[in-house]
Amino acid sequence: MTDINMKLQDKETMGFKKFSPKVDKNRRLVLTRMYAGIRGTNVFQYTIHKMNISGQINSNWKHLFAFGTDDFKSVSKFRNANTGETSKVYKTAFTSIAGVSEKTNPTMVWRKMLSCVS
């Protein structure tokens, strides 16, 4: 993400709730949030990626996505990116990761989680 896009996203999401990326380290899942609204509307895309053992995004597993408001509680079901099938995600397994420089990059979030655990 370029600096211009990051500044634009920060400017548009200033009035909304803060969000820390979340990780489920047992299932190697990373949850990120991205602003998807237009002109200040309260719409965000939540995305779940699966990481492989080397710390990269698993290309064999298609990510899940959901749209909701700035409140993560508004999301109840995620959809598969290829098929559109809904799937239930247990949100209690995810823990927040603070101090990530690029909150929309799942690889950076995963590396930060590994550095916190070590």
CB 86 within 8 A of CB 77: yes
8: pLDDT strictly greater than 50 = no
Tell me, what's the pLDDT at 67? 93
Separation of CA 100 from chain center: 12
Q: What are the distances in angstroms from CA 107 to CA 25, 31, 56, 66, 81?
A: 13, 11, 6, 20, 19
Encode pLDDT of 46-75 as tens digits.
999 999 988 999 999 999 999 999 888 889
Summarize the confidence of residues 29-37 as an average pLDDT: 91
The model's pTM is: 0.83
Parent domain of 98: 3-117
HEC per residue, 19-39: CCCEEECCCCEEEEEEECCCC
For the chain, how many structural domains are there in total?
A: 1
Q: Where are the alpha helices (DSSP H) in 1-118?
A: 3-12, 106-117
pLDDT at 80 over 90: yes
